[in-house]
Structure 1
């Protein structure tokens, strides 16, 4: 099998020694070409070329969720064609690795490589649904008006937290869960109005939902992890359905404590809920609008500010080795 391995050398939890071991293990079973990314967007460009060339059967992403997102966007540059495009495989190397863990893969890179090789021997794969977001950037986003995401997007509070974390990482801080918690608190303290949000959700043939402070769009569940603990923002979300939404219309101190506790104690059966919580399941088309430019993130990657983002849930978009 002809395979392309896309390696992010800056992945948080993968050392050079570990990468060498993994490359050797994969090369023993695959006709392997390896590309090490050198700039933001490089993984996307390499995967796009592999999809267009028609000579690669499998693209393996070794890195975190950002690397996986770039590879997926490269593979799907011309749209979904599950029977024609190379299959995707993931070896987790980031700090959280939500997509890989949601697929049921081990969170350890070496163990995940073993699971990948076993899946290839057994011919085990699944076709997953993905999310597509389109919107005119209020700041530069590499000129790309549309982008695929694998597990989550957000407009509002959570995207502001992601932006703060990225700023810290650019200054040399390591991506850790305590770092996220600190930036979450700082983002909350900086919120001007925690009781009246500026985000509106619009769906075809439905009344708009106004006044959201936070809006999470999920393609699978769990939404994220705190260490080994899964966090279920939208328990019903699945790779086999369209998109789920969690919206919060209030982030006052009592609301933050209530919803934060619910998230920490969430389960596959129950996520955050209450008077100011909105939960919607299996949405194919909808739009989030904001009265002012608002932070926007996809798969944990801060993409600047938006006033409007249109979402589409696309079932059976890509084949994945599991």
Structure 2
């Protein structure tokens, strides 16, 4: 079985020695080629070439959710065709690894590699649904291409938090939960649409839902992790269904305190709820429209400002080794 291992050498939770060990372990069972990423978007380019070559059975992403997202977008550059594309495998190497953990993989790279090798020997795989989004720029920039996401997207508040975190990481700060908490508080204090949201959800054949101050789109559950604690924004979200949406119409101090508590105590059966919460399940096509340019994120990657984002839930998009 021929495989391409796409390695992010800057992955936050693996050392060079650990990556060498994992590479040798995979090479014992696979005809393995290894490629290290050298720039943002390189994993996407490598996966695209692997898919177009038609010579690989598996593409393995060793890195965090950002590396996985790039590999997925490379594999699906010409659209989903699960029976023709290489299968995706993931070895978690980031700080959170939501996609890998949502698949049921261990959050430790060595243990995950062992699970991956066992799955390859047994021929164990599944087909997952993914999200596809296309946005209208918030400035006079060029049109924004479609982009796939594996577990979540955010338009507005949470994307602003991720943008702040990325700025801090560029300044040398480590990606920690404390960093996210600090930037969430700063985003809240500077948020101009806390009391009157600017986002509207538009769905075919349905009345629009307006005045949202926060919108989170989930492709699976949990939405993220706080340490080892899973956080469920949309508990019903699944790789086997369409997309789910959590929206909040107010971000006042009492509302934020209430819904932050809901998130921290959320379970697979119950997420945020109340009169200011909007929850939608198993959507195939919808648009998030804003009166003003707002930040957009997908799989934890800040993508700049948009005024409109159209989402599509695509079932059976990609085969994954599990």
1:237-270 Cα distance to aligned partner (Å, 9 max, x none): 0000010000000010100000000000000000
State the Cα distance separating 1:135 from its structure 2 match. 1.4
State the Cα distance separating 1:289 from its structure 2 match. 0.5
State the Cα distance separating 1:192 from its structure 2 match. 1.9
Write out aligned runs for 1:70-219 (5 A): 70-138=70-138, 144-219=144-219
2:30 match: 30
Confirm or deny: 8 A CA contact 1:155 1:296 kept in the other structure. Answer: yes
Distance (Å, rounded) in 2 between the aligned partners of 1:139 and 1:49:
32
Confirm or deny: 8 A CA contact 1:221 1:235 kept in the other structure. Answer: yes
CA RMSD of the aligned region, Å? Answer: 1.1
Gaps of 5+ in 1: none
2:271 match: 271
Write out aligned runs for 1:245-264 (5 A): 245-264=245-264
1:76-127 Cα distance to aligned partner (Å, 9 max, x none): 0000000000000000000000000000000000000000000001110000
Query: TM (normalized to structure 1)?
Result: 0.98
Distance (Å, rounded) in 1 between the aligned partners of 2:136 and 2:123:
41
Q: Once superposed, which parts of structure 1, at least 4 consecutive aligned residues long, lie more than 6 Å away? A: 140-143
State the Cα distance separating 1:139 from its structure 2 match. 5.6
Report how many aligned residue pairs link the two structures: 322
State the Cα distance separating 1:143 from its structure 2 match. 6.5
Question: Structure 1 residues 317, 202: closer, same or farther in 2, change over 3 A?
Answer: same
Confirm or deny: 8 A CA contact 1:136 1:145 kept in the other structure. Answer: no
SS state at 2:114 partner: helix
Confirm or deny: 8 A CA contact 2:138 2:294 kept in the other structure. Answer: no
Gaps of 5+ in 2: none
Distance (Å, rounded) in 2 between the aligned partners of 1:192 and 1:55:
51
1:14 match: 14
State the Cα distance separating 1:140 from its structure 2 match. 9.1
Query: TM (normalized to structure 2)?
Result: 0.98
2:286 match: 286
2:60 match: 60
